[in-house]
Amino acid sequence: MERVESRRNENEESTVSGSEAAYSSRRALVRRSSRARVLRPCISYTLFICLLFFSPVLLPSNRAAGKPESVEPQKEPRRIVTIKIAGAEPSGLGIDWEREIKKVRGAASGTYQQDFGIEFKIIKWETWKIDKTAGTMQGLLNDLKKKIAPGEADVVIGVLGPSGPGDSPTGIADYFSAYILLRLGRPGAALPVVIHELGHIFGAVDLDEENTAMNPRNPALKFDPFSARVIGLNKNRSFHTQGFPSPPGSIREVISGYEARASLNRAEPEIPLFLAYLYIETKDYAAATKACLEVLKRNSETPEIQGLLGNLYLAQGRTDEAVAEYRKVIEWNPELPLTHFNLGVAFLQKGEEDKATLEFREAVRLSPNYVEAQAGLAQQLLKKGEVDAALDHVRKALEIFPDFPEGLCILGAALILKESKDRLEEAASVLQKAVALKPGLPEAHSILGVAYGFLGKDEEAEAELLKTLELKPNSLEAHLNLAVLFRKSGRDEKAAFHLGRVAEIDHDFAAKSGFLAADNAGPVKYTVRPEMFRQK
């Protein structure tokens, strides 16, 4: 059945790759979107910031709304997975659907509890006002992700009424963001579909095999050994975090299970597709590319794979090819936030700032909960000097995912750019949080150093800027700001040393700034000059 696999970023969205297949009688409609994970090219705000936020990550993000959650230890015998139910409105939910859902939840939970020690608990019921123009299950799933945030729940399940009397139920699921859309059918018929879709949430894929819950046309109530193994390995998957959902310790084993299955050469296109995601996660781009080409060989219409290939090209610096792949995906479906986001990242790599901004804007429009897109747009706005607008977007990102270190860096930079004393205190405090969350992020130290510099805390500023250089010896921002700091405190030799490093790192910049002239002592003020933000 449909599974959408999306990957990080989900933000929402965005990143869905999914195949939606109609359950039962309808012919499977395979739609795939690209779930690219965001590749993150590194972007440097010159004086300050390099958003690692865009460092290469190939799969889509599932941090739609994220509460970071640590993975439970493997030995934990029972895992409780919490669910938010979103009942569609309007959508022909005339039946006593809540009762139906409660019944199905109980039965599905029983199966998962017995086989895997996973228990499902509904913690919230909400109403979801659907976009009636979203014609397909995929379109409705995107609408669900856009409008219903998971909040405290691990999994969101949107529920639609039957499309006609006596219809079979249908579902679609997104592994990365952990969203399921369920269309109810005849009373009592939904159980196999729910078990199947929950299987997708735990890393199982559609199989060309009878008598298994993962058969998309006629799902059984029990799993085959391969799917059971995959689900067991994914039992402690993460929800709404930045990472790949599968527990890091089990990825190799998941890969070997998938490789063994792939060697059977069945008509199971999701196998190489999922393998591609897993290879990307382990940074084996060559194997990932091969897996993508394998899928393309069997299936010509696979925008999802094209999106992934785009990401792989992007990771390898082949930006023109990446742009071409993303454009094909967008032509197929213009409403995929992740693809727009990745296209924006590709434009950034090409130095096409305005085009990048437009794509981030589109990603945010399609998926307001898409944390990376919100932060990416904020970063672009900062570069253009639109500090207030940047603040709005980055605060939105942090509202969804408060412990997002790169987002905190952007917020810190924006607050510094506001140039008011109380904003500086706030900047220092959010940057301290970024440093605590991700001590290896050079930009967090660099921007924090500047905040301290502006606050007159010279010792702390020096320590943070030196820490930046430890992590990133060629940080232009850190050298520039150290030059300012040392000059202010009369340590001219040290200031000259750092200015010399600036000239070595970027001669053109130094020449343009006049820093090469013998009588030029360099910048005199810690600066956040948005016009200098640039990509590196």
Structure tokens at 382: 């900062």
Shortest Å distance, C-beta 321 to Zn ion: 31
Nearer to Zn ion by Cβ, of 48 and 175: the residue is 175
Shortest Å distance, C-beta 3 to Zn ion: 4
In terms of residues, how long is the chain?
536
Please state, in angstroms and rounded to a whole number, the distance separating the CA atoms of residues 344 and 535.
13
Nearer to Zn ion by Cβ, of 277 and 454: the residue is 277
Nearer to Zn ion by Cβ, of 15 and 527: the residue is 15
Q: Which amino acid is it at 262?
A: A
Please state, in angstroms and rounded to a whole number, the distance separating the CA atoms of residues 136 and 309.
25
Instruction: Point out the residue whose Cβ comes nearest to Zn ion.
Output: 1
Nearer to Zn ion by Cβ, of 3 and 361: the residue is 3
**Closest listed residue to residue 362, CA positions, set 347, 384, 350, 383:** 347
Token pair 């014609």 is found at: 135
Q: Which residues contact 316 (CB under 8 A, 6 or more apart)?
A: 285
Nearer to Zn ion by Cβ, of 23 and 279: the residue is 23
Q: Check if the beta carbon of residue 84 is closer than 8 Å to that of residue 419.
A: no
Please state, in angstroms and rounded to a whole number, the distance separating the CA atoms of residues 382 and 402.
20
Burial grade of 355 (CB within 10 A; 0-12, 13-18, 19 or more)? middle
Structure tokens at 153: 């729940």
**Closest listed residue to residue 12, CA positions, set 54, 65, 49:** 65
- String of DSSP letters for 3-61: EEEE-SBBTBSS-EEEEB--STTSPPB------PPPP---EE-TTS-EEGGGS---SPB
Strand order in the sheet with 43-44: 50-51, 43-44, 534-535
Q: Are strands 534-535 and 43-44 parallel, antiparallel or unpaired?
A: antiparallel
Shortest Å distance, C-beta 1 to Zn ion: 3
Shortest Å distance, C-beta 426 to Zn ion: 47
Nearer to Zn ion by Cβ, of 277 and 401: the residue is 277
SS3 assignment, position 342: helix
- String of DSSP letters for 105-122: HHHHHHHHHHHHSEEEEE
Nearer to Zn ion by Cβ, of 116 and 497: the residue is 116
Shortest Å distance, C-beta 158 to Zn ion: 16
Structure tokens at 72: 């439970």
Shortest Å distance, C-beta 465 to Zn ion: 52
- String of DSSP letters for 124-176: EEEEEE--TT--SHHHHHHHHHHH---TT-SEEEEEE--SSTTPPPEEEEETT
Shortest Å distance, C-beta 211 to Zn ion: 16
List contacts with Zn ion (CB under 5 A). Answer: 1, 3, 206, 216
Structure tokens at 23: 């359950």
Nearer to Zn ion by Cβ, of 142 and 242: the residue is 142
Shortest Å distance, C-beta 184 to Zn ion: 17
Nearer to Zn ion by Cβ, of 1 and 322: the residue is 1
Nearer to Zn ion by Cβ, of 158 and 405: the residue is 158
Shortest Å distance, C-beta 194 to Zn ion: 12
